[in-house]
A and B are shown apart, each in its own frame.
Chain A
Amino acid sequence: MNAARLDDYREVTSKGTMCFLRSLAERVRGRRFLHVNSTSQGGGVAEILHRLVPLMADLGVDARWETIKGDPAFFSVTKAFHNALQGQEALITKDMLEAYIETNRQNASNLSLEGDLVLIHDPQPAPLINHRPPEGKWVWRCHIDLSHPQRQAWRHLRKYVAKYDGAVFSLPKFAQRLAIPQFLIYPSIDPLSDKNRELSKAELNGILDRLAIPRDKPILLQVSRFDRFKDPIGVIDAYRLVKKHNECRLILAGGGAEDDPEGGAVLGQVREKAGFDPDIHILELPPDAHLEINALQRAATIVVQKSLREGFGLTVAEAMWKGKPVVGGAAGGITVQVIDDVTGYTVHSVEGAAFRIRHLLNNPDLIARMGEAGREYVRHEFLITRHLTDYLTMLLVLTA
């Protein structure tokens, strides 16, 4: 994919946003904005930085992106840390913490950390704050669900976060008791990426044929990891309640489970629950199956995201961008994205999900209306251009 330019977004974002961005850019032209994270490939953060950084450069900001390096031991520590911060049980020993600090120290001596604004993404590079140059503002950008962190893990991370000039969270419920300013910035989707761009009919049909998805019945789709918090079993239960009255297919599409022992167990339960129902399709997709996800979302009649616990859940915005109503669990960022009765429904139970799906299947006009409203809402709130505006505003305010 070529480096992104703001003009590429002229067709998908509002004229007001484009004008505002250009005007804002005039005020921050030449300022240095450094992003630091832990990987250049894979994951939502890298995905969005690949587009955001060139867009900032296109607007005249001196934007750079550095990634920290670490050995597998370091990343197993940060994975444990990541899980603990999201409230899961994880043992973090003193040795692990030392490896975490030491790897960051080594990275600090190898990386160029100068910037008027330095945005450190997620916990992995957070200790770099101990090596900040004398000039520039440093902000910690938290992309994870920090609403119920394990106390030990947060106590440790907090020591670093408290030294920053500010922190950015994706939802108010993720904010912490901190003396530094905590900003609220929603994540975003890129409407021009393979996951979200328009697909031709031929492309769409080709992908669906490859995935062996018939288009003879309305399709209910949930795209998510095979994880208990995403409640795939609950989705099958809801589908079965719907199926008593309405013909439909259910597609559960998610990442492979090879590197996640619990994911494997959940996938096994999902397969068992699905039994031999020919209308349930369980798809294990590789991490780079962006076009496949795009096609599935476009083929769906209703998108379900029945999470019991959720970070932000950008699959909801992806679905709404494609004009689909969403039935989502009332968890995490789903409640911010799904506007009840307008872009879909938030639900609290299997029965609630089934009721709303049936209601929609029986009201095709409502599906169309909600789909249209969802796309308009995403255009305003969850596109990369809004994200860019927020970051440039922060650059302007903090480096004034």
Chain B
Amino acid sequence: MSERAQVPFEFFCCIELRQMLGLKAETEKELAGLIKQVSLDSIYYHTYGLLLRHRYRAGAFSNDFATWVAVQVGDRVLGERLAVLDPLSFDTLVDLRDEIVSVIDSHLKSIVVVPRVAYGEPFHFIQSRIVAVPAGMTAQTLQEFRQAVSEVDDRTLYYHTLEARVRLKHGRNDFAAWLRDGLNLPTLAARIGALDPFTGGLERVRTQMLAYCDQVLIQGRDL
């Protein structure tokens, strides 16, 4: 464990500029067809992007496709099948898209009438562009890192855990990478890298990160 990293960790905050694609689905078949067509940025917005929204607007399920079929179409079965998909278990957004389409297609093969939205709203496809700016905080020690994590906006947690990993293609959680390379804390880094925001939200990630950091600070060594 190093007391002080040579390169400080710079925290960034982010916001999404949402762009509507002018495409909408009213049946599950149309939904599958459009999911195949739209940009990967749109797949990202409707899956990962959920965590950037206020928890009230994020919907009942873990991605927009699941929420729409369950709530607007009223097809709870497909909603549940889509909800269980874990975006982080796919290497690429292409793989995630293929799996979503595959789940919808196989569901449609098992039923006679294609479910459609009757009284609810159609599914509108959106994509987002993430803009990041410095959050005004840096850390060189674990103590400083812990302090910053306790204070930053949840959009900062999002940026360093998901945006960095998926769209910026760092292939890893920024926090974990810095803890491992900068402070030589491989176990703490692994624990933080394994935290799953989809199961408890970003606030839970924050709480767990703080708890792990506290353990290391108390013990004076890696976990």
Q: What residues make up the interface of A, taking CB atoms closer than 8 Å to B?
A: 14-17, 19-20, 22-24, 26-27, 169, 172-173, 175-178, 181-185, 335-336, 339, 342-343, 348, 373, 377, 380-381, 389-390, 393-394, 396-397
Contact = CB atoms under 8 A, between A and B. Distances in A.
Given A175-B22, A348-B119, A20 B13 contact: yes
Contact of A381 (B17, B22, B57, B155): B57
A377 B124 CA distance: 22
A24 B130 CA distance: 13
Contacts, number: 83
Given A185-B18, A377-B56, 4 more contacts: A16-B152, A172-B20, A173-B124, A389-B15
Can you list the 8 inter-chain pairs with the closest CB atoms, starting with the nearest?
A16-B153, A172-B124, A184-B18, A175-B20, A23-B133, A339-B56, A182-B20, A380-B54
B200 interface: no
Nearest to B18: A184
Contacts of B15: 20, 24, 389-390, 393
B40 interface: no
B171 interface: no
Interface string B31-60: 000000000000000000000001011000
Given A23-B13, A183-B20, A377-B54, A14 B153 contact: yes
A20 B155 contact: yes
B interface secondary structure, majority: strand
A184 B133 contact: no
Contacts of B207: none
A22 B134 CA distance: 10
Contact of A19 (B18, B56, B129, B136): B136
A185 B129 CA distance: 13
A interface secondary structure, majority: helix
B150 interface: no
With a 10 A CB-CB cut-off, give which of B18, B19, B133, B154 has the most chain A CB atoms.
B133
A24 B18 contact: no
A335 B59 CA distance: 12
Contact of A23 (B21, B56, B122, B135): B135
A22 B153 CA distance: 14
Contact of A343 (B21, B56, B126, B156): B56
Given A348-B119, A380-B54, A397-B131, A183 B17 contact: yes
A258 to B, nearest CB: 36
6 contacts: A16-B154, A23-B135, A175-B124, A182-B19, A377-B56, A390-B15
A176 B20 CA distance: 9
Nearest to A186: B18
A394 B129 CA distance: 10
Nearest to A18: B153
Interface in B132-183: 133-136, 152-156
Given A23-B134, A182-B19, A396-B131, A16 B124 contact: no
B25 to A, nearest CB: 12
Interface of B: 13, 15, 17-22, 24, 54, 56-57, 119, 121-122, 124, 126, 129, 131, 133-136, 152-156
Contacts of A394: 17
Given A176-B22, A184-B18, A184-B19, A27 B133 contact: yes
B57 to A, nearest CB: 7
A233 to B, nearest CB: 22
A56 to B, nearest CB: 16
B54 A19 contact: no
Contacts of B152: 16
Contacts of B119: 348
B175 to A, nearest CB: 18
A336 B121 CA distance: 11
Given A335-B121, A381-B54, A381-B57, A23 B19 contact: no
Contact of A177 (B19, B22, B136): B22
A173 B121 contact: yes
Contact of B56 (A184, A342, A396): A342
B8 to A, nearest CB: 17
Contacts of A397: 17, 129, 131
Nearest to B120: A330
Contacts of B22: 175-178, 182
B13 A183 contact: no
Contact of B133 (A14, A17, A24, A390): A24
A169 B19 CA distance: 10
A284 B119 CA distance: 34
A253 B18 CA distance: 35
Nearest to A19: B136
Contacts of B136: 19, 22-23
Nearest to B154: A16
Contacts of A27: 133
